[in-house]
């Protein structure tokens, strides 16, 4: 194993033993000293960020990517505020649940505890370094961070601020550590660092998630890929259709909970589709239509026939696929065949259709008469979000602090032995 990973992994394990027993006060104090350290280190952080920005220009990064990479005084202030906001969230550790007294008198509980060491592999935005460090610390976990090579200097300076903040509060510096090597092979080694890392969260595109699934022996939380459907039922309230569809598609088209495919019941398609297409045209959304939808919309702005892959694509852009379906059953079958298990919505006033949709669709979030864009930790009231999981184990949908914990069984006895 790579020496840096081994050294930092061992230090993280040792730190996690300390973090696991801390109360919320000690953790919150450290979050505040981290926020202060981010501001104190501003000059160093911005200087490091200039190195990354210059290297990015030389490498020909787009202006959009350079803007994602850029740190400013205002952005650092905002990061520090985010860290203080994490201090204000409730501490999930120590909660007891499923408690019971057994007939033999044993008093039994599940007690929420940290997972241990969490490895996060992420791409360009440097604020992730701070976000993840704060959320892992608050949930009692040590973090091992592997950022993108475009932001390596910024990430080093930010991680240094986190470590200074931890030390100022008397916590181990190894509470959050950045892997500084940008060797790609290290990602593979992190994914197989059983015994040093307890859970890996990849944050990035489909290729990173697929790489993690195929190569990890450490448990991995995968997700983030959303092929999301909005189904307009025959009993949809006309006043709700366009606002929800437009919001789901255009409010932030580059993210995983944006709508990709619009399904419309045949009985209302001739009425619904032109109005929806008009509204989407104002945002210059390209519409990829199967033949029935095309026969209704043909000739309208931005309308074209759907290609073979359009119903299996996460567009991440102002593009939507459109299909007319004969029934709720056909909509359910389409979602079963093409959905990615992220977010699915129905628009209907029909009670039974709403019940069937929520019962039968299998996805991280299933919604009635609401925009798919709500599937988000902040929107769901979790206070923060580490990732959105689309796999069924451990946690599904938005992952907040609680989803960074596990439990142990605590058993208080008075001398019981098993008969």
206 touches its own copies by CB under 8 A: no
Closer by beta carbon to its own copies, 191 or else 303:
191
Contact pick of 2, 77, 313, 391 for its own copies (by CB under 8 A): 391
Q: What is the widest separation between alpha-carbon atoms in the chain?
A: 81
> How far from 319 is each of 12, 31, 131, 284, 314, CA to CA, in Å?
44, 41, 31, 9, 9
Kindly state the number of chain residues that form the binding site for its own copies, as judged by CB under 8 A.
Answer: 69
CA 260 – CA 249 distance, rounded (Å): 7
* Shortest distance in whole angstroms from residue 402 CB to its own copies: 9
Contact 389, 399 (CB under 8 A): yes
Q: How far apart are the first and last CA of the chain?
A: 47
348 touches its own copies by CB under 8 A: no
Phi, psi of 108, rounded to the nearest 5 degrees: -120, 135
| Window 270-289: residues binding its own copies (CB under 8 A) | none
- Residue 258: DSSP 8-state: S
219 touches its own copies by CB under 8 A: yes
* Shortest distance in whole angstroms from residue 182 CB to its own copies: 26
Contact pick of 238, 298, 305, 392 for its own copies (by CB under 8 A): 392
3-class DSSP state of 189: helix
- Residue 184: DSSP 8-state: T
Structure tokens at 178: 């950045």
* Shortest distance in whole angstroms from residue 178 CB to its own copies: 23
What DSSP letter does each residue of 102-132 carry, written as one string? Answer: -TTS-EEEEEEEE-SEEEEEE-S-THHHHHH
96 touches its own copies by CB under 8 A: no
363 touches its own copies by CB under 8 A: yes
Is the backbone of residue 396 left (phi > 0), alpha (psi -120 to 50) or beta?
Answer: beta
244 touches its own copies by CB under 8 A: yes
* Shortest distance in whole angstroms from residue 284 CB to its own copies: 19
Closer by beta carbon to its own copies, 161 or else 331:
331
336 touches its own copies by CB under 8 A: yes
Chain residues binding its own copies by CB under 8 A are 17, 20-21, 100, 102, 106, 108, 111, 113, 115-116, 194, 198-199, 213-214, 216-217, 219-220, 237, 239-240, 243-244, 246-247, 251, 336, 354, 358-360, 362-371, 373-375, 379-381, 391-394, 396-398, 406-418
């Amino acid at each position: 194993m790579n020496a840096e990973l081994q050294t930092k992994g061992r230090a993280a394990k040792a730190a996690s033993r300390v973090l696991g027993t801390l109360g919320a006060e000690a953790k919150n104090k450290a979050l505040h000293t981290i926020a202060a350290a981010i501001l104190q280190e501003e000059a160093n952080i911005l200087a490091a960020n200039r190195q990354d920005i210059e290297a990015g220009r030389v490498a020909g990064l787009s202006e959009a990517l350079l803007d994602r990479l850029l740190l400013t005084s205002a952005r650092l202030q905002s990061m520090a505020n985010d860290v203080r906001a994490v201090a204000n969230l409730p501490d999930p550790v120590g909660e007891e649940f499923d408690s019971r007294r057994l007939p033999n008198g044993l008093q039994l509980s599940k007690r929420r505890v940290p997972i241990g060491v969490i490895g996060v592999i992420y791409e360009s935005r440097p604020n992730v370094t701070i976000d993840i460090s704060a959320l892992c610390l608050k949930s009692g976990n040590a973090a091992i961070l592997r950022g993108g090579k475009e932001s390596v200097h910024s990430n080093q300076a930010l991680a240094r601020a986190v470590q200074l903040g931890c030390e100022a509060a008397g916590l181990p510096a190894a509470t959050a550590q950045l892997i500084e090597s940008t060797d790609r092979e290290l990602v593979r080694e992190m994914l197989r660092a059983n015994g040093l890392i307890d859970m890996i969260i990849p944050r990035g595109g489909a290729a990173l998630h697929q790489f993690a699934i195929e190569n990890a022996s450490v448990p991995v939380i995968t997700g983030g890929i959303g092929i999301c459907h909005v189904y307009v039922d025959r009993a949809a309230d006309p006043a709700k259709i366009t606002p929800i569809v437009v919001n789901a598609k255009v409010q932030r088209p580059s993210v995983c909970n944006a709508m990709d495919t619009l399904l419309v019941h045949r009985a209302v398609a001739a009425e619904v589709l032109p109005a929806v297409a008009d509204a989407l045209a104002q945002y210059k959304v390209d519409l990829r239509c199967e033949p029935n939808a095309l026969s209704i919309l043909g000739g309208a702005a931005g309308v074209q026939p759907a290609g073979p892959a359009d119903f299996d694509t996460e567009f991440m852009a102002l593009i939507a696929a459109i299909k007319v379906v004969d029934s709720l059953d056909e909509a359910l079958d389409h979602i079963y065949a093409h959905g990615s298990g992220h977010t699915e919505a129905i628009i209907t006033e029909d009670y039974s259709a709403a019940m069937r949709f929520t019962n039968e669709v299998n996805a991280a979030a299933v919604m009635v008469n609401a925009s798919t864009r709500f599937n988000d930790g902040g929107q769901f009231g979790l206070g923060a979000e580490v990732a959105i999981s689309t796999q069924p184990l451990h946690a599904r949908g938005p992952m907040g602090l609680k989803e960074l914990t596990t439990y142990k069984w605590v058993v208080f006895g008075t001398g019981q032995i098993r008969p």
